[in-house]
């Protein structure tokens, strides 16, 4: 099957998962009920549809980011959270939860602002260290990201230990990741970063193909490695920060989706970026559906479902790569 038809098939599957997500959950909503009951209309347009759209955008962002990082670092287990973006956002959210302040700015809740600021902080630290060392080498950035992850995680643990039980529960719940959203403000804010970031990243698809092979080949083909890595790193991290600020850290989508997509369309980033986007969206939609029905009428945080699926997959990727080597 030609790659274009495979991508079309993936798009059809995504549409099916999207419709399943909005019409099924704790209760079934029939299409003819949407405009004949005020309660159903409110649930559909204020809760179900925004949640499904946020899952679509978030899954796509995490998957595209995973594909980009796996090329930049030539590491099959690189993910959107490799460089500490998730831990930075989690630290920002934790600082807000333990603080006494509570208000919004221009319609943005402070937990969103704090978590996005935390994500940007982690990006800035890695960027400044790379500038100081005059090196955007793979190992330097990955190791810096690991250190930042541990450092921010230790601060979060300290804050959890010293705050009251109610705040501990709120922090734990937020760090599980979720798609609990009402209204379209998160959709509008994340879609701006998603659309602009995706366009910029896709324009670098040829450079990503070369970088995934090696720096020497990239240089021989005229690629300005440091410039390309800086642009892709900043753009991708901003995309991640924009969604994590609303959803919390949702792990493993950025690792799993690019591998599934590459199994269908290969390693060419002309197709892989699109396929990864569709796969990530479909994966998060189906995981969100499972989180809503598995313990119905209670709901699990979607981050738990992705972690349960992602753990074994992560081990499989490591075993496969070791067997290749």
**pLDDT score for 104:** 60
CATH number of the domain that residue 62 is part of: 1.10.3470.10
Residue 104 φ then ψ, to 5°: -120, 160
In whole angstroms, what is the distance from residue 36 CA to residue 301 CA?
31
- Nearest of 203, 193, 200 to residue 270 by alpha carbon: 203
What tokens were used for 80?
A: 């959107």
List Cβ neighbours of 184 (8 Å cut-off, separation of 6 or more): 50, 53
**pLDDT score for 189:** 87
Question: pLDDT by residue (tens digit) across 295-322?
Answer: 878 788 999 999 898 888 878 877 876 7
In whole angstroms, what is the distance from residue 63 CA to residue 80 CA?
8
- Reported pTM: 0.91
List Cβ neighbours of 174 (8 Å cut-off, separation of 6 or more): 90, 93, 94, 97, 111, 248
Question: pLDDT by residue (tens digit) across 89-107?
Answer: 889 989 988 988 766 665 5
**pLDDT score for 270:** 93
The stretches in the chain having pLDDT less than 50 are none
- Nearest of 141, 155, 25, 184 to residue 92 by alpha carbon: 155
- By CB atoms closer than 10 A (0-12, 13-18, 19+), residue 74 is middle
Which domain range does residue 221 map to? 3-324
- Contact between 29 and 36 under an 8 Å Cβ cutoff? The reply is no
In whole angstroms, what is the distance from residue 190 CA to residue 244 CA?
9
- Number of independent structural domains in the chain: 1
**pLDDT score for 135:** 62
């Amino acid at each position: 099957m030609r790659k274009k038809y495979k991508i079309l098939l993936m798009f059809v599957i995504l549409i099916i998962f999207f419709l399943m997500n909005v019409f099924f959950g704790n209760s079934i909503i029939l299409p003819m009920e949407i405009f004949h009951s005020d309660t159903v209309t409110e649930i559909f347009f204020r809760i179900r549809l925004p949640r499904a759209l946020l899952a679509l955008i978030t899954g796509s962002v995490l998957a595209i980011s995973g594909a980009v990082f796996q090329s930049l670092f030539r590491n099959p287990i690189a993910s959107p959270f490799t460089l500490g973006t998730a831990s930075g956002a989690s630290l920002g959210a934790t600082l807000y939860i333990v603080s006494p302040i509570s208000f919004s700015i221009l319609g943005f809740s402070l937990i969103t602002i704090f978590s996005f600021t935390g994500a940007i902080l982690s990006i800035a630290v890695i960027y400044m260290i790379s500038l100081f060392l005059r090196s955007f080498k793979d190992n330097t950035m990955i190791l810096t990201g690991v250190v930042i992850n541990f450092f921010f995680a230790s601060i979060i643990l300290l804050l959890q230990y010293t705050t009251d039980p109610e705040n501990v529960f709120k922090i734990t719940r937020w760090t599980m990741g979720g798609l609990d959203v009402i209204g379209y403000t998160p959709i509008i804010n994340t879609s701006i970063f998603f659309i602009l970031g995706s366009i910029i990243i896709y324009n670098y698809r040829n450079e990503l193909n070369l970088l995934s092979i090696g720096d020497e080949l990239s240089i021989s083909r005229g690629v300005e490695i440091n410039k390309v890595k800086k642009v892709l790193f900043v753009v991708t991290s901003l995309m991640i920060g924009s969604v994590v600020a609303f959803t919390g850290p949702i792990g493993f989508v950025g690792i799993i989706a690019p591998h599934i997509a590459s199994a269908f369309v290969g390693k060419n980033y002309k197709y892989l970026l699109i396929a990864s986007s569709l796969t990530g969206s479909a994966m998060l939609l189906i995981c969100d559906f499972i989180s809503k029905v598995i313990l119905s009428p209670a709901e699990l945080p979607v981050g738990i479902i992705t972690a349960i699926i992602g753990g074994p997959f992560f081990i499989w990727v490591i075993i496969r790569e070791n067997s290749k080597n």
